[in-house]
Amino acid sequence: MTKLTHFILIKASYSPENYAKLYLREIVKLHGVPLSIIFNRDTQFTSQFWKLFQKGLGTRVKLSTTIHPQTDGQEERTIQTLEDMFRACVIDFKGNWDDHLPLIKFAYNNSYHLSISMAPFEALYGKSCRSPIS
């Protein structure tokens, strides 16, 4: 597992169909259709539409639980790290955090992750990613 993470702006009013379109546009176009995927238990991802959509793609859906070591605390750690990065971005650049989302995503995925002993980009591509501070 690469631990590569995507941060995608969404609206609270999005329907499951909107999520499906975003998923195809932002995830499937870059990585293809996964064999399995882990989601949190948000109602958008437990809806009948979403289950049928993933089944149609041939993807096995796994929902995160506290008893599975692969998800235990992972989501919370990612959210905390992301909040810290947003906070720093707003303080440093005095702008809207969403303007900096691509850079935040890059920084997160190009940072060392103890659980895989490398950065997610390195795990995905087999080499370190070039960055301004490499």
- The average pLDDT across 43-57 equals 83
Say which residue, 36 or 66, is predicted with more confidence: 36
What does the alpha-carbon distance between residue 95 and residue 97 come to, in Å, rounded to a whole number? 6
What sign does the dihedral 44-45-46-50 (CA atoms) show?
positive
Give the pLDDT band of residue 10 (cuts 50, 70, 90).
confident
- The average pLDDT across 92-115 equals 84
- Smallest CA-to-CA distance from 106 within 71, 134, 80 is with 134
Q: Write down all domains in the chain, each with its CATH number in brackets.
A: 14-69 (3.30.420.10), 73-129 (no CATH)
Q: What local confidence, expressed as pLDDT, does residue 93 receive?
A: 72
